[in-house]
C-alpha cells in the first residue's frame, strides 16, 4: 500500500516541461496522466488484497451451534476412555482413599509422613478447611459464626475412629453441605490435609506422655534437664 502511494506521489510531482514547448507539454501531460492512472490502478489492486480472511478464519465459539454435526453441538464430547496426559490414575487406593470399596485406615504407601507433609497439610487446611472447621478442627470456623451450618468436630469419637481415607474421600467428593474440592486441592495435598487432621485430633486429645521427654520442657517452660531430674523422662528413653 505504501509503495502504491509513493508511485502516485511521484507521478504528481513529475518535473514540468520546458516553457514554450507545446509538444513537450503535451507529451509530459500524457506521461503524467498515464503514471497517475497506473498508480491508482496499482493502489486499487493492493487495497483489494487487504482482506480479513486470515483474521476472520472460520471457528466456533464455546457452546455455539453447528450444522455440521447431527446433534448441532460445536463442542464435541470427549470419547469414552480418554485420559488426559498425566492423569492415568491407575492406583485406586491413592486416588480414592479406598481399597476394594472400603475406606483405608492408614496413609497409602507412597505418602511419606514427615514435617514437610504436615506443614503443607496445615497450610492447605488453613486455606480451604479452617473457614468452616476452624483452625482447631472443632467446627466453629468464622463462616459458621456467621450463620453457616456447623460441621461435625474432628474430635468427635466417630471421626477420631474413622479411617484416614475417609477425609480424602470427603475432600474429593464432598459430603452433606460441603462441596467437593477436587478442582482446588490436588490429590497429594488431600493426603497432606488428611494427615494434618490426624495431627489435630491427636493434639486435642494428647497427654504429656505423648510428648518426647526432651521436648516436654518446651511445653511448660522448664529446661529438659530439669524435667529429667524429676524422673519424668526415664520411662521414654
Q: How far apart are CA 150 and CA 127, in angstroms?
A: 18
Cell of 86: 498425566
Are 99 and 211 part of one and the same domain?
A: yes
DSSP the chain: -HHHHHHHHHHHTPPPPPTT-HHHHHHHHHHHHHHHHHHHHHHHHHHHH--STTTS-----TT-B-SSSTT-BSSPPPPTT---TT-----HHHHHSEETTEE-SS--TT---SHHHHHHHHHHHHHHTHHHH-TTSSS--HHHHTTPPPPPPTTSHHHHTS-HHHHHHHHHH-BTTBPP-TTTS-HHHHHHHHHHHHHHHHHHS--GGGS-GGGTHHHHS--HHHHHHTTTTGGG-
- Per-run averaged pLDDT (10 residues), the chain, 237 residues: 52 50 59 74 64 70 90 91 88 96 96 97 98 96 95 96 98 95 97 97 87 83 44 38
Are 41 and 109 part of one and the same domain?
A: no
What are the two backbone dihedrals, phi and then psi, of residue 30, each rounded to the nearest 5 degrees? -65, -40
53, part of any domain: no
Residue 38 is predicted with a pLDDT of 76
Are 34 and 96 part of one and the same domain?
A: no
Are 109 and 177 part of one and the same domain?
A: yes
154, part of any domain: yes
209, part of any domain: yes
- Residue 201: CB atoms within 10 A of its CB come to 19
150, part of any domain: yes
Residue 6 is predicted with a pLDDT of 58
Task: Give the structural domain span for 37.
Answer: 2-15+26-46
145, part of any domain: yes
- The answer to whether the CB of 181 falls within 8 A of the CB of 116 is no
Q: How far apart are CA 179 and CA 149, in angstroms?
A: 13
Number of structural domains, the chain? 2
Residue 228 is predicted with a pLDDT of 42
Are 150 and 37 part of one and the same domain?
A: no
Which residues are registered as beta bridge partners of 175?
178
- Residue 4: CB atoms within 10 A of its CB come to 18
- Which of 188, 200, 207 shows the shortest CA–CA distance to 141? 200
Cell of 39: 498508480
Residue 171: CA atoms inside 13 Å, Cβ hemisphere, count? 28
Are 144 and 215 part of one and the same domain?
A: yes
Amino acid at each position: 500500500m505504501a509503495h502504491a502511494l509513493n508511485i502516485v506521489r511521484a507521478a504528481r510531482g513529475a518535473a514540468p516541461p520546458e516553457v514554450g514547448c507545446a509538444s513537450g507539454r503535451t507529451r509530459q501531460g500524457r506521461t503524467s496522466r498515464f503514471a497517475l492512472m497506473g498508480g491508482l490502478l496499482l493502489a486499487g489492486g493492493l487495497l483489494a488484497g487487504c482482506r480479513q480472511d486470515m483474521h476472520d478464519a472460520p471457528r466456533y465459539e464455546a457452546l455455539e451451534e453447528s450444522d455440521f454435526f447431527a446433534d448441532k453441538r460445536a463442542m464435541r464430547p470427549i470419547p469414552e476412555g480418554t485420559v488426559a496426559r498425566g492423569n492415568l490414575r491407575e492406583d485406586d487406593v491413592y486416588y480414592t482413599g479406598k481399597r476394594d470399596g472400603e475406606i483405608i485406615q492408614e496413609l497409602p504407601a507412597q505418602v511419606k509422613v514427615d514435617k514437610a507433609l504436615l506443614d503443607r497439610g496445615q497450610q492447605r487446611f488453613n486455606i480451604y478447611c479452617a473457614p468452616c472447621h476452624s483452625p482447631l478442627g472443632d467446627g466453629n470456623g468464622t463462616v459458621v459464626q456467621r450463620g453457616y451450618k456447623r460441621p461435625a468436630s474432628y474430635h468427635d469419637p466417630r471421626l477420631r475412629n474413622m479411617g484416614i481415607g475417609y477425609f480424602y474421600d470427603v475432600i474429593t467428593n464432598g459430603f452433606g453441605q460441603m462441596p467437593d474440592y477436587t478442582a482446588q486441592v490436588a490429590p497429594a495435598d488431600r493426603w497432606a490435609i488428611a494427615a494434618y487432621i490426624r495431627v489435630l485430633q491427636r493434639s486435642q486429645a494428647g497427654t504429656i506422655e505423648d510428648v518426647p521427654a526432651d521436648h516436654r520442657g518446651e511445653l511448660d517452660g522448664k529446661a529438659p534437664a530439669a524435667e529429667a531430674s524429676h524422673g519424668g523422662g526415664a520411662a521414654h528413653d
